[in-house]
Amino acid sequence: MTGTGDEPFITAVKPLIDAMGGEMLPPDEAGPDDVVLSWEGTEAVAVRLPQLADSLDHILAAMERKKGKPLADLDRKAKQEVVRMLEARGAFSVRHGVETVASALGVSRFTVYNYLNYANEQRAKARAGDEQSRQDG
C-alpha cells in the first residue's frame, strides 16, 4: 500500500485479514483502534478489525463456504461439530451469539444449548478417560 516493496507482505497477509473480516487501509489512515503492520522497518498496512458481532457472521459464512452448503442443511452431527468449533472460537461470548448461530443452523436456541451441553459432556468423558489411563499406566 505504500509502494516501497511491501506488496509481497500485503499479498501474504491479505488472506488472513479477509478470513477474519478485517479491512486493509493505508497506514496513514489508521485510527486509534486499528493495527498497523510493519514490513522491513516500514509501516506497510493498517488493519481495521471487525466488530465481534460482524466477526461471527463472517465466521459462519466461511463455515458455509467450507461445507459447500448452508449450515441449516447439515445433519445433526455436523451441526454439533459446528457448535463445538464456534464455542472454541468464542462465538458464544458475543451478545446474541446463541441466537445468531441458532438462526444460521436452522435450529432453536434450546438446541444450540443442548449441543453445547453435549460437547461439554464429551470433553468431560475424554478428560476422565485420560485421567484413568494415567492412573492405570
Per-residue confidence in pLDDT tens, the chain, 137 aa:
544 556 899 999 999 898 777 899 999 999 998 999 999 999 999 999 877 667 788 889 889 999 999 999 999 999 999 999 999 888 898 889 999 999 999 999 999 999 999 999 988 988 888 777 777 76
What's the predicted TM-score (pTM) here?
A: 0.63
**What CA dihedral angle connects 133, 121, 60 and 45, to 10 degrees?**
-50
Contacts of 65 (CB under 8 A, 6+ apart): none
The per-residue pLDDT for 53 is: 66
CA dihedral (58, 64, 68, 70) positive or negative: negative
Three-state DSSP at 135 gives helix
The per-residue pLDDT for 49 is: 85
Three-state DSSP at 61 gives helix
Closest alpha carbon to 86 in 125, 48, 127, 115: 115
The per-residue pLDDT for 2 is: 46
The per-residue pLDDT for 46 is: 95
Distance CA 48, CA 28 (A): 13
DSSP secondary structure letter of residue 57: H
The per-residue pLDDT for 137 is: 65
65: which 3 cell numbers?
Answer: 463456504
